Amino acid sequence: MEFGYADPQAEKVLRTFIQDGRLVRFPAKRGRRRILLEHIAACFEPGRRFPEKEVDVVLRAWCHGGETDYVTLRRYLVDEDLLSREHGQYWRTGGWVA
The answer to whether the CB of 36 falls within 8 A of the CB of 13 is yes
User: Can you give the pTM of this predicted structure?
Assistant: 0.88
Domains of the chain by range and CATH? Answer: 8-92 (1.10.10)
| Residue 48: φ, ψ to 5° | -115, 140
The Cα 70–Cα 62 span in angstroms is: 8
Chain segment 5-45, per-residue pLDDT in tens: 778 899 999 999 999 999 999 999 999 999 999 999 999 99
